[in-house]
Amino acid sequence: MVKVGITGQAGFVGTHLHNTLGLSPEVYERIPFERSFFEKDSLLDSFVASCDVIVHLAAMNRHDDPQVIYDTNVGLAHKLVAALKRTNSNPQVLFSSSSQEERDNHYGNSKKEARKTIQEWASSNNATFTGMIIPNVFGPFGKPFYNSVVATFSHLVATGGAPKIEVDGDLKLIYVNELVAEIISKINSKENNPSYNVPHTSEAKVSEILALLNHYKSLYQDNGEVPEISNSFELNLFNTFRCYMDIENHYPVKFSQHTDPRGSFVEIIRLGVGGQVSFSTTVPGITRGNHYHTRKIERFAVIKGKALIQLRKIGTDKTFDFYLDGDEPAYVDMPIWYTHNIKNVGDDILYTNFWINEPFDPEDADTYFEEV
């Protein structure tokens, strides 16, 4: 069992790393971290002394005063090293720096100086250290106007805002799940590399990203159609966008029914990707699901009976309850990292159609069970 502590556990990358490590509880024990630990030596000392591995992600990205950014990030590195020295701890340490090290700005300089500070401690103590120089990271749950332009534009497009391109730069990007996989790989390999340039996995101009996001809103958010997805970047960007929608007020979405003397016809889903379509019958009182996915796109469509569909974002307590009735057929889509279920709350059999964008593979199911 490897004991892993993550400074910045509640941040964008920290949350994804924490949740992903939790998928392998037989391999990793997650040592809890809170921001207040940096304000009290005894708490920070207890934290570092408990860890086999420390992933130092805590940092300030933006502030009105650039000097505050520099002082904060360098100061956090010094506090971490001081705690390591006080406790005579010698864990493996991974540090998240930024490709902005190459630029002469306070943020980039602060990350470079912090990386060197930890590197000097590691060299003096024969500790394993990986200084990860990371390109632009995007993905679900990034903080708009703080973490990335993708987070900001996704939020604005999904909520009806008007994104403005200041500089149409060419961005080298990595999806947060891909970055997490890199970090876990370095934990497992115990690689000693004080200056590791994490390779970007995609590249796009800001205007290209915005055009895709506007396309997703028009096609998917406004009309319920899953767009054509031609590569992993587009899938990752689409899943990112979906997580900025106001699901509480968006779902359930009622279908258009075409009725004549024979009965009715309802189109369940129109899509530019393939996948798997199935249906289920559920007897009264029974609940299905209570699991989540990290990459799959999924739709539940109730066509007969009464159902309660529940969603809860992993790591949070808020539950979204959606009541659907086959008399007015409707659907709810499942965002990634939201555990979900469906329960028959009526007196008759519930009929539900399911669509998912990839056929089920028992060797790579991307299905993790957790009660809503």
Q: Tell me, what CATH number does 34's domain have?
A: 3.40.50.720
From 368, 350, 331, select the one nearest 286 (Cα to Cα). 350
Place of tokens 């593979």: 361
Specify the pLDDT at position 265. Answer: 67
283 and 188 in a common domain: no
User: Measured at the alpha carbon of residue 83, what is the angle toward residues 77 and 86, in degrees to the nearest 5?
Assistant: 140
Given this model, what pLDDT does residue 100 score? Answer: 86
Same domain, 189 and 327: no
How far is 238 from 254, CA to CA, in rounded Å?
22
Residue 324's Cα: distance from chain center in Å?
Answer: 28
Q: Which domain holds residue 61?
A: 2-137+173-201
186 and 298 inside one domain: no
* 254 within a domain of the structure (yes/no): yes
Is 31 found in the same domain as 124? yes
User: Are residues 61 and 192 both part of a single domain?
Assistant: yes
Please indicate, yes or no, if residue 207 is contained in any of the structural domains. Answer: no
Regarding whether 251 and 133 lie in a shared domain, the answer is no
Tens place of pLDDT per residue across the chain (372 aa) = 999 999 999 999 999 999 999 999 999 999 999 999 999 999 999 999 999 999 999 999 888 898 999 999 999 999 999 999 999 999 999 999 998 888 889 999 999 999 999 999 999 999 999 999 999 999 999 999 999 999 999 999 999 999 999 999 999 999 999 999 999 999 999 989 999 999 999 999 999 999 999 999 999 999 999 999 999 999 999 999 999 999 999 999 998 878 778 766 678 888 777 888 888 999 999 999 999 999 999 999 999 999 999 999 999 999 999 999 999 999 999 999 999 999 999 999 999 999 999 888 889 999 999 999
Looking at the fold, whether 183 and 304 belong to one and the same domain comes out as no
Q: From 37, 19, 27, 20, select the one nearest 2 (Cα to Cα).
A: 27
Give strand pairing partners of 175: 138
Q: Is residue 32 part of a domain?
A: yes
Q: Which residues of 59-69 are buried (b: 16+ CB within 10 A; e: fewer)?
A: bbeeeeeeeeb
Question: What is the distance, to the nearest Å, from the Cα of residue 118 to the centroid of all Cα atoms in its chain?
Answer: 27
User: Do 126 and 49 belong to one domain?
Assistant: yes
257 and 351 in a single domain? The answer is yes
Domain annotation covers residue 155: no
CA distance 170 to 136: 11
Burial class of 315 by CB neighbour count within 10 A (0 to 12, 13 to 18, 19+): middle
Same domain, 197 and 250: no
User: Tokens 């798997």 sit at which residue?
Assistant: 276
Residue 209 resides in a domain: no
Contact present, 331 and 298 (Cβ < 8 Å): no
Q: Do residues 184 and 332 both lie within one domain? A: no
Q: Cα dihedral angle (260, 280, 248, 21), rounded to 10 degrees? A: -150
d(CA 100, CA 2): 31
- All residues at 6 or more sequence positions from 261 whose CB lies less than 8 Å from its CB, including other chains: none
Provide the number of structural domains found in the chain.
2
Which CATH number goes with the domain that contains 365? 2.60.120.10
* 8 Å CB contact between 127 and 146: no
Cβ pair 307, 352 in contact under 8 A: yes
* 27 vs 164: CA distance, rounded Å: 45
CA distance 34 to 148: 23
Q: How far are the Cα atoms of 92, 96, 110 from residue 116, in angstroms, in the given order?
A: 15, 12, 10
- Distant-in-sequence, close-in-space partners of 112: CB < 8 Å, separation ≥ 6: 97, 101
Alpha carbon distances (Å) from 166 to 39, 99, 104, 274: 37, 20, 20, 37
Residue 283 lies in a domain: yes
Do the domain assignments include residue 215? no
